[in-house]
Amino acid sequence: MNSSMKRLLNIGALCLLLHISVVLAAKPGTSARVDALLKTMTLDEKIGQMTQVDYDAIKLNPSDIEKYALGSILWGGGSEPDNIKPQGWADICDSYQGFTQKTKMKIPLIFGIDAVHGHNNVDGAVIFPHNIGLGATRNPKIVEQIGHATAVEMQGTGIQWDFAPCVAVARNERWGRTYESFGEDPALAKELGAAFVKGMQGSRLSAKTSALACVKHFAGDGGTTNGKDQGNTEVDEATLRAIHLPGYVEGIKAGALSIMVSYSSWNGKKMHGNKYLMTDVLKKELGFRGFLVSDWAGIDQLDTASYKNAIMLSINAGLDMAMIPNAPKQKNNYVDFIAYMKELVAEGKIPVSRIDDAVRRILIVKNEMGLFEHPFRDKALLAKIGSKAHRAIGRDAVRQSLVVLKNEKNILPLSKKLKNVIVAGKGADDIGMQCGGWTISWQGKSGNVLSGGTTILQAIKHTVSKNTEVTYSADGSGATGADAAIVVVGEEPYAEMIGDRADLHLSKNDVDVIEKLKATGIPVVVVLLSGRPIIITDVIKDSHAFVAAWLPGTEGQGVADVLFGDYKPTGKLPHTWPKDMTQIPISAGDKKSEPLFPYGFGLSY
């Protein structure tokens, strides 16, 4: 190479570096930065921005963030760092973000996580009631507060993107994700989903205490036949629009800039390949200007025989970012995705214009989030995780969410001065059962799964007089001499897929505990922990009072507040409560026999 050629190459390289510097220094909030970036980016860099990799898939090769100019990392499906305390999460995020600063374009990562009821993968975070309980509050203000508190706790660990709110309208209680829905009425999804977006994103998305919301799962996931997870929603378009789209319409109006696509199908067509709904309706008709992300390996289901063809179908239908959980040596991994994307563009099967549209949407969101100016976390926010202020919000949400279904002879509220109270049932002293699924692990589990928070038993002990004796037995034994019994029963933790159930009756063990205490002749108060209405028609006859507490999270004190009169119950049913399994599915207005309790039912004192 002669000296003239070398000088030209050096000048060219210098011009490129100067151009990139100008691009990165461009005024935030304008499209100039994004347009300039797109002109400078290679195809590889653009595809990298469309690639979201799971932590478990990349933790052995984090330098791939730099190598492939990746756009996003997520934690999902049970992937988490070895240290799940706040500092452990923060260290990983700072470390991974550092790789982006070594790339030519220095485009920051956006980290995503399912913080669906608080920052629920972090030990020490406040776990709020699941959405079904928030639906019972009918209170957008408390939902907005929860959205903000969750954003602050997320940002404390360096994670800036929440795969929430879920605005599914659950129409069949067999569905294992019923508790992720605000209720059976699309009005709840509209009002409360929008409130969460506003709380999460704040008045300014670039604020250090704001995070990106992700409305999900588009669309119709709550209406599948027989309540089957990832199933088929068989309704006409008018019904789809009336029931399952309003949450997205209001979420977009509230400023949501990301939406997750559903695994489910609409009349046999998978959502991940539905161009009409993703592009024509969502992006064009509704004016959604953010980006669409797939669910966990969601594109794979479009063509199980050919991953390459599945990619083509989904990207051309309007998907902007692909969530890829698999490591390089596994099937359908992120390295394959990138290679196939390049081939598809070269073959003319995915237009460059579609790539540019997807990347432009992603970069616009990153720009509006202020990630170019502040890619790393604000270390001062770490101390906000699990704070007293956030626990107070959680407690308030819990007591607003409780629905009193029965209160015979006004036994509630209980006196704090009773001489002896027996607390029974498997859920009374179980923080994991209180929280339900999506708590530390994907499916959740019973037991002492996290630090912080208050079980219902602990809350009762904190509430009653110092002279009141509180005894606990899981099976209800030892009730002789007690003035009243509080029995906490219900569903053990579960999440998507595993949570689908054909039979929603209360377990035999739970029924046995209630019957044993009824036989003593003392007043029996039943507290039900569940992610949906459970068949309790016979059991409720054996109780003097019955309270639906849903999945309240870590702040069990809110339950005791209602039981002992520190808060007058205000919760109203977000679902029609069936008498038996033959009534399911049942919703308000159905021409069926009378339910056990109608939609909106709830007693007060």
Active site residues: 295
Helices (H), 504-544: 508-518
CA atoms of 269 and 26, how far apart (whole Å): 43
Helices (H), 202-244: 237-239
**Is there a contact between 201 and 368 (Cβ–Cβ < 8 Å)?**
no
**Is there a contact between 106 and 45 (Cβ–Cβ < 8 Å)?**
no
Helix (H) or strand (E) segment spanning residue 72: strand 72-75
- In degrees and rounded to multiples of 5, residue 100 shows phi and psi of -70, -25
3 state SS of 103: coil
Check residue 553 and report its DSSP letter.
-
3 state SS of 388: helix
Could you please report the per-residue DSSP string of 340-351?
Answer: HHHHHHHTTSS-
Helix (H) or strand (E) segment spanning residue 215: strand 215-218
- In degrees and rounded to multiples of 5, residue 439 shows phi and psi of -135, 110
Say which residue the tokens 């015979």 belong to. Answer: 408
Helices (H), 254-306: 275
**Pairing outcome for strands 269-270 and 265-266:** antiparallel
**Is there a contact between 53 and 112 (Cβ–Cβ < 8 Å)?**
no
Check residue 122 and report its DSSP letter.
S
Distance of CA 549 to the CA centre of its chain: 19
Check residue 26 and report its DSSP letter.
S
- Non-local (6+) Cβ contacts of 221 within 8 A are 168, 177, 233, 244, 262, 263, 264
Helix (H) or strand (E) segment spanning residue 366: helix 352-368
Angle at 226 between CA 222 and CA 227, to 5 degrees: 30
| C-alpha distances in Å from residue 241, one per residue of 190, 238, 500 | 13, 5, 25
CA atoms of 79 and 325, how far apart (whole Å): 10
Nearest in space to 358 (alpha carbons), one of 399, 417, 317, 305: 317
CA atoms of 499 and 531, how far apart (whole Å): 9
Could you tell me the two tokens for 140? 């957008």
Residue type, 147: G
